[in-house]
């Protein structure tokens, strides 16, 4: 019986490779292409094999922290665009373009009266 293609990627070497590709910034579609499978197959593998999912998450997490730290550094260094981006995403209730206000019936409405 032939081994499934996924088995190669469940080995320690395969998992390190997957993690490295994710850390290098490759998308799931690009990683699937490198493996020689469809993106939907990679998604199925991620759902079925936690080792594959964990390796990809671990690789992406490293890069996400690096980008987050770089953005914070730029914001603290006075880069106004970085400051705006940071505040809109970290404190959207206070810094979003269209503030959220309680509606008369207890719901939420978006207010669009900000000049600019």
- pLDDT digit string (tens) for 22-80? 999 999 999 999 999 999 999 999 999 999 999 999 999 999 999 999 999 999 999 99
Contact 86, 75 (CB under 8 A): yes
Q: Which pTM does this prediction carry?
A: 0.68
Model confidence band, residue 3 (pLDDT cutoffs 50, 70, 90): low
Question: In whole angstroms, how far apart are CA 5 and each of 9, 11, 25, 37, 100?
Answer: 8, 11, 23, 9, 49
Q: What is d(CA 5, CA 36) in angstroms, rounded to the nearest whole number? A: 9
């Amino acid at each position: 019986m032939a081994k499934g293609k996924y088995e190669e990627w469940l080995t320690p070497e395969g998992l390190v490779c997957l993690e490295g590709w994710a850390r290098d910034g490759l998308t799931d579609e690009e990683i699937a292409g490198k493996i020689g499978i469809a993106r939907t197959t990679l998604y199925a593998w991620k759902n079925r094999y936690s080792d594959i999912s964990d390796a990809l998450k671990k690789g992406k997490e490293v890069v996400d922290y690096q980008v987050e730290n770089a953005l914070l550094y730029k914001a603290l260094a006075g880069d106004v665009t970085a400051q705006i981006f940071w505040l809109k995403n970290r404190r959207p209730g206070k810094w979003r373009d269209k503030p959220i206000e309680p509606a008369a019936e207890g719901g939420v409405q978006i207010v669009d009266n900000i000049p600019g």
